[in-house]
Amino acid sequence: MEFIPQILFILILGAAIWAFSRKINSLIRNIRLGRKEQHDDQPYERWKNVLLLAFGQKKMFAKPLVAILHFIIYVGFIIINLEVLEILIDGIFGTHRIFAQPLGNLYRYLINSFEVLAFLVIVVCIVFLLRRNVLKIKRFNQPELNGWPRSDANFILITEIVLMSLFLILNAADALLQENGVAPYANHATGSFMISGLFLSLLKGYSSETLIYIEQSAWWLHIIGILAFLNYLPYSKHLHILFAFPNAYYARLTSPGKMTNMPEIQREVLYAMQPENIPAALTDQPKRFGAKDVTDLSWRNLLDAYSCTECGRCTAACPANITGKSLSPRKIMMDTRDRMEELGRSIDKTGNLQEDGKSLLHDYIKPEEIRACTTCNACVDACPVAINPLDIILQLRRYQVMEESQVPAEWTNLFSTTETSMAPWKFSPMERENWKND
């Protein structure tokens, strides 16, 4: 009978790891639906991006106060969960605070540090809940966040408050059980800790049996909550907690303003001008020019979509959105991710990728959205995790122009004058730079 809790713990842990691994594998499969693209050069620069963007959250500090608050949650999430290692070992082997005796005074220092961070995380999560639901900051109240995305953000913040509170409760109950001389708690005389010690008076009236029940309930709920949170991440915008690191590593190292040409288009122009160069058989015909669906995008674009934090900094910086246009770079990323997920569910059901009569362009993203883009790169510059919505917009727009021939009249005039005068204005080629003298 004494091994039942350990067996139960191992079963729960195994099920959580299996479910998490299975979902992560499906996400990787979805990302691989995209076209191949090389992003493995300059490893030094890439690891620097990981350190500065993912670990250091460099871009977040454009707004220092919010950055510090976010950094507290981030550090709390990373560091406090080091105590999960002790919980895992205790759960598997039936021990209690296995690191307390070997670490001695260092153990008290670590747990005190964890408690301070836990308290700060609770405070910051409350502040973020108020910002979203009471102050109603504009970028958190855009149409694309209606429904589940808004609930998702609130749910995560509330979950973090609960998990941190359980950590403090179990420490407080543990300290009182030590005072009462109850084994195995009294075997490790850690005493009370900095934050949980403030709440001892709330629990002092309870019997040792009740305190054991409180401590064990908090312990189990804390670890089960963490495992549940882990499995919730792949379904949430908070997947960026994991994917921000590979996204930073595989970030594009070229200038954000540099647009990628399609060799196929350049080849078509060459063949039109020099038909004699057309080979007898073309073996590398592109499936299509530009992108209509997520399978036409690169795997790097799809990793971007899964890494999106939905923070809205890109949309808040977008001049088209600011002036009332329908474009929202955040929505572009959310729509790309939703379309990927839809195709992934279809693969899960049928075993392979099949046409479903839908596409990213038109069914998820409307032409008027991508036409509003000024290609200013404000969204790319604002993103804290190196996401590039502009690249997706340009590829969708390229398809619309080159495959569907859907071009606004203003663009037609620009194209024709550029073709004839080598400038967007109707100047002669020799005078095309005169505009800058006006």
pLDDT in tens, 158-203: 999 999 999 999 999 999 998 888 888 887 778 888 999 998 988 9
What pLDDT is attached to residue 284? 59
* Lowest mean per-residue pLDDT among 63-72, 230-239, 305-314: 63-72
Q: Which fold has domain 263-272+285-410?
A: Fumarate Reductase Iron-sulfur Protein; Chain B, domain 2 (1.10.1060)
> What's the pLDDT band for 339 if we cut at 50, 70, 90?
very high
- State whether residue 35 is helix, strand or coil: strand
For the chain, give the percent of residues with pLDDT over 70.
95
Tokens found for residue 293: 């669906």
C-alpha–C-alpha distance, residues 427 and 438, integer Å: 14
What pLDDT is attached to residue 280? 62
> What's the pLDDT band for 421 if we cut at 50, 70, 90?
confident
Query: Comparing C-alpha atoms, which of 305, 307, 358 is closest to residue 335?
Result: 305
pLDDT exceeds cutoff 80 at 231: yes
345-353 average pLDDT score: 90
Contacts of 88 (CB under 8 A, 6+ apart): 13, 223
Tell me the domain boundaries of the chain. Answer: 4-31+63-239, 263-272+285-410
> What's the pLDDT band for 285 if we cut at 50, 70, 90?
low
Which residues are paired to 365 by β-bridges?
A: 361
User: What is the enclosing helix (H) or strand (E) of 372?
Assistant: none
72-99 average pLDDT score: 83
Average pLDDT, the chain: 87
CB atoms within 10 A of CB 362: 14
133-146 average pLDDT score: 87
| Largest separation between any pair of C-alpha atoms in the chain | 94
pLDDT exceeds cutoff 60 at 283: no
Q: How far apart are the first and last CA of the chain?
A: 89
Q: Between 259 and 10, where is the model more confident?
A: 10
Burial of 256 (0-12, 13-18, 19+ CB in 10 A): middle
Phi, psi (5° rounding) for residue 298? -85, 160
What pLDDT is attached to residue 264? 72
Tokens found for residue 176: 């009182």
Q: Are 331 and 379 in contact (CB under 8 A)?
A: no
222-249 average pLDDT score: 91
What pLDDT is attached to residue 1? 57
- State whether residue 298 is helix, strand or coil: strand
CB atoms within 10 A of CB 279: 7
pLDDT exceeds cutoff 60 at 368: yes
C-alpha–C-alpha distance, residues 360 and 339, integer Å: 6
3-12 average pLDDT score: 91
For the chain, give the percent of residues with pLDDT over 90.
48
- State whether residue 365 is helix, strand or coil: strand
For residue 234, whether the previous peptide bond is cis, meaning omega lies within 30 degrees of 0, is: no
What pLDDT is attached to residue 438? 59
